[in-house]
Amino acid sequence: MYKDMSDDFGSDFDAGIGTDSGKKLFGGVSVKWENILPIAVIIIVLLLVVFKTNILSGGMSFLGGTSGARILVLGAPSDDFRKILSDQENKDIIKEVRYYTLEAIQHNPVERIKGYDIIILDQSTQTDKTIARRTADAITAYVKKGGKLIIVLNSGIQRPEDVSVLGWQANFGNIVPVTCDVVGTRPSCLQPIEMQGTLYAVMEDHPIMQGILRVPAVDTSGPIRTRTYDVQVVGKEVAYLHDPRVKNPYVGIAEQSLIMGKVIYFNFNPGISKAIFINTVKYLK
Residue 179's DSSP bridge partners are: 232
Residue 29's DSSP bridge partners are: 25
| pLDDT, tens digit only, all 285 positions of the chain | 444 544 444 444 444 444 444 455 445 555 566 667 777 777 876 766 554 444 443 333 333 345 799 999 999 999 999 999 999 999 999 999 999 999 999 999 999 999 999 999 999 999 999 999 999 999 999 999 999 999 999 999 999 999 999 999 999 999 999 999 887 788 999 999 999 999 999 999 999 999 999 999 999 999 999 999 999 999 999 999 999 999 999 999 999 999 999 999 999 999 999 999 999 999 998
Considering the entire predicted model, what is its pTM? 0.78
Residue 232: CB atoms within 10 A of its CB come to: 13
* Ordered domains of the chain (ranges, CATH): 5-52 (no CATH), 61-284 (3.40.50.880)
Max CA separation in the chain (angstroms): 98
Dihedral over alpha carbons 11, 17, 19, 20 (to 10 degrees): 10
